Amino acid sequence: MKSESNRKVLLIVPSRIMVRGIEGVFSDLGEFKVEGILSDISRTSEARLKNIDADIIIIDPVVFDYATRQSGRSKISEYSDAAVVALQTVTMEDDSWKQYDEVINIYDAPADIIRKLRSALSSHQESPATDSHELSSREKEILICVAKGMLNKEIADLYNISIYTVITHRKNITRKTGIKTVAGLTVYALLNNLIDSSSVE
């Protein structure tokens, strides 16, 4: 288990002022730490999104264009299993906010922000089920390792994540595919061209 201090936060916030403001709140109150900052959802951002093992993502939904805003949350979960909190900088339809684990308003007091991040984390852990039924890229990577016979510890070391996170990914893989055993996952990985025949000799 990760310690309670220094939960990793990834910001997807275009405004520099707001980024500095959030960093200021975290440095005053501890518990959370900004691990990475993205100013948009471009292709290069997607790659970084995948590689940062964040506990929470704070996103300003203005990075999505109007048409994709409704599905913003599930787009994030394609790349990361972190809890996702929206930063409310503009007014939008109520439904657009409901998809997020929490919503931070720019007028929230620092303590409220921390409280909301905590509740986002705990509600996210209670129900890891995301809307997406497809495997995320990270889940696919871990599935490939499992299919090749790697142990949880080896997978954790390879991706520099905790064993706990590996186990969570594996649970999600089983929930999405319905396949529980390693032997079954190997068959799945091969049928879906995630591994080739040389890996299953």
Select 106 or 200, whichever has its Cβ closest to other proteins.
200
| DSSP helix, strand, coil percent of the chain (3-state; round to 5) | 55, 15, 30
CA distance 162 to 156: 5
Minimum distance from CB of 201 to other proteins (Å)?
A: 9
Cβ atoms within 10 Å, residue 164: 12
Select 118 or 176, whichever has its Cβ closest to other proteins.
176
Counting contacts by CB under 8 A, is residue 149 touching other proteins? no
Near other proteins by CB under 8 A: residue from 52, 161, 179, 194: 179
95: helix, strand or coil = helix
Counting contacts by CB under 8 A, is residue 196 touching other proteins? yes
Counting contacts by CB under 8 A, is residue 133 touching other proteins? no
Minimum distance from CB of 142 to other proteins (Å)?
A: 17
For residue 85, give the nearest of 50, 123, 49, 51 by alpha carbon: 123
Please list, in sequence order, all residues whose beta carbon lies within 8 angstroms of the beta carbon of residue 69, skipping any fewer than 6 positions away.
61, 92, 96
- Binding mask of the shown chain, residues 159 to 178, with x at each position contacting other proteins by CB under 8 A: ------------------xx
For residue 80, give the nearest of 132, 158, 119 by alpha carbon: 132
Counting contacts by CB under 8 A, is residue 148 touching other proteins? no
Counting contacts by CB under 8 A, is residue 197 touching other proteins? yes
Residues forming contacts to other proteins in the complex (CB under 8 A) are 177-181, 183-184, 186-188, 190-192, 196-197, 200
